[in-house]
Chain A
Amino acid sequence: MRRKPGTLLPLEVAILGVAIDIRGEEKGEFHGYQAARLLKEREEAKMLTAHGTLYKALERLQVGGLLESRWEDPDTAANEERPRRRFYKITAAGETAWQEALRSAHLATAPGTPGLAPI
């Protein structure tokens, strides 16, 4: 899909929103399935975001430097008898990008904006 460099897709903005929400918690990190669950609640969707859609967006955000990731310690996963998780965390650039995206969304929906007048 063609997109302007630096622009974020709605799903990417939503993921950054989830990352911002989680930032205040103990570790400030989230894994893929956790993001899918939080996105479902946040967007009031009926289903979890599909694997392909979610991980493609997470990878794009990471490549763009908006998220950083680390693999969980193998021993922790082994102790809990489950596969290893990959944890994501928002970066300073990610926070800036999220604020920019919110500002432009606010401008687009503000009353009196040409072409996007309220109904």
Chain B
Amino acid sequence: MKLAALRAKGLATWLALLWVRCYTRGLAQELRESRRAEIASDTWDQVHGDRYASGAWVLVRCLLGVPADLSWRLEHSATAHAPGRAALRLLAIAENGGRWIVRRGLPGLTVLFAGFYALLGFIVLVTIPLNENAPHADLAWFGGLCLLASAFIVIGSRRLPRHAKSGSAILIVGAIPMSLALMVTVVVPGVAAIVVGSEVVRGVRARRRQAAGNPVAGGGARRQ
């Protein structure tokens, strides 16, 4: 396996387990440890047992479960208040959306992204007056384009098994604008955040190691 793929899997696993640590924080020890151990075991099995599992799929699987994770957390916290119940209802809708995507795979995920962009475009159209000087009105075009691209992807992927040539052509026509949209709005900022985050963590660890190895120059000196 290539080193980059291994690193991607490692990073995705680390992010998935970090998310588990976040939403289980403050819970009873037994419950917290049990959930953390179970997800750690599941992620390990996915990464080592499925040779086709890429880091991206590990992360997508984790992300699609976020509404269920949050509602699980709310169920284990005090949920007698109205906001808690309302939040649970909203999370249940999001959870069903996640299940819908799991059944449909990549086309489902694409529709989700396109729907988000289209909604963004629609909100911009409604809230910002349309005139020549309204720069954000471009977002509406962007949203419409994304929705159109996702329609092409869904049609193309359905057509592909029976009509390979035309199915592929339709898929490519839809994939190019959607990939560009995702690159600009999700992938590039996401990768930048991960790189910056990992550099910060590495810096903190290096400082701790330095302090542990040289107590006079580090924390030890300050304590004196």
Asked if B105 is at the interface of the complex by the 8 Å CB criterion, the answer is: yes
Among the 9-residue stretches A16-24, A50-58, A110-118, the one with 4 or more Cβ atoms under 8 Å from chain B is A50-58
Q: Is B66 in contact with chain A by the CB < 8 A criterion?
A: yes
CB–CB B106/A53 < 8 A: no
Using a CB-CB cutoff of 8 Å, which residues 24-50 of chain A contact chain B? 31-34, 36-37, 43, 45-50
A15 → chain B closest CB, angstroms: 13
Whole-angstrom distance between the Cβ of B15 and the nearest chain A Cβ: 12
A84 contacts B37, CB within 8 Å? Answer: yes
Interface of B is mostly: helix
Least CB separation from A72: chain B residue? B41
Q: Is the CB of B68 within 8 A of A36?
A: no
A45, B100: Cα distance in complex, Å: 9
| Contact of B101 (CB < 8 Å), options: A1, A34, A47, A54 | A47
Question: Measured between alpha carbons, how far is A1 from B24 in the docked complex, in Å?
Answer: 21
Question: CA separation between A92 and B49, bound complex, in Å?
Answer: 31
CB < 8 Å neighbour of B106 from A36, A46, A54 = A46
Q: CB-defined interface of B4-26 with A at 8 Å, one 1/0 digit per residue? A: 00000000000010001000000
Q: What is the size category of the interface that chain B forms with chain A? A: 35 or more
Chain A residues contacting B103 (CB-CB under 8 Å) are: 43, 45-46
Q: Is B44 a contact partner of A56 (Cβ separation < 8 A)?
A: no
Interface centre among A33, A45, A54, A82 (most CB of B within 10 A): A33
Which residues of A sit under 8 angstroms from B61, Cβ to Cβ? 47-48, 50-51
- Bound-state CA distance A84–B88 (Å) is 31
User: In this complex, what residue of A is CB-closest to B102?
Assistant: A47
Q: What's the tally of chain A residues with a CB closer than 8 Å to chain B? A: 29
Given known pairs A1-B89, A1-B92, A46-B108, the reply for A53 and B41 (CB within 8 Å) is no
- Kindly list chain A residues whose C-beta atoms are within 8 Å of the C-beta of B46: 33, 36, 48
Q: List 23 A-B contacts (CB under 8 A).
A: A1-B88, A1-B89, A1-B92, A31-B41, A31-B42, A33-B46, A45-B102, A46-B103, A46-B104, A47-B60, A48-B57, A52-B69, A53-B64, A55-B35, A55-B42, A55-B72, A56-B69, A56-B71, A59-B72, A82-B41, A82-B44, A83-B40, A85-B45
The 8 residue pairs across chains A and B that have the minimum distance between CB atoms: A46-B105, A52-B65, A50-B65, A52-B68, A1-B92, A52-B69, A33-B45, A50-B64
Chain B positions near chain A (C-beta within 8 angstroms):
16, 20, 34-35, 37-46, 48-50, 57, 60-72, 88-89, 92, 95, 98-99, 101-106, 108
Give 15 A-B pairs besides A49-B102, A53-B98 with Cβ atoms closer than 8 angstroms.
A37-B50, A46-B103, A46-B104, A46-B105, A48-B46, A50-B63, A51-B42, A55-B38, A55-B42, A59-B72, A71-B37, A82-B41, A83-B40, A86-B37, A86-B38
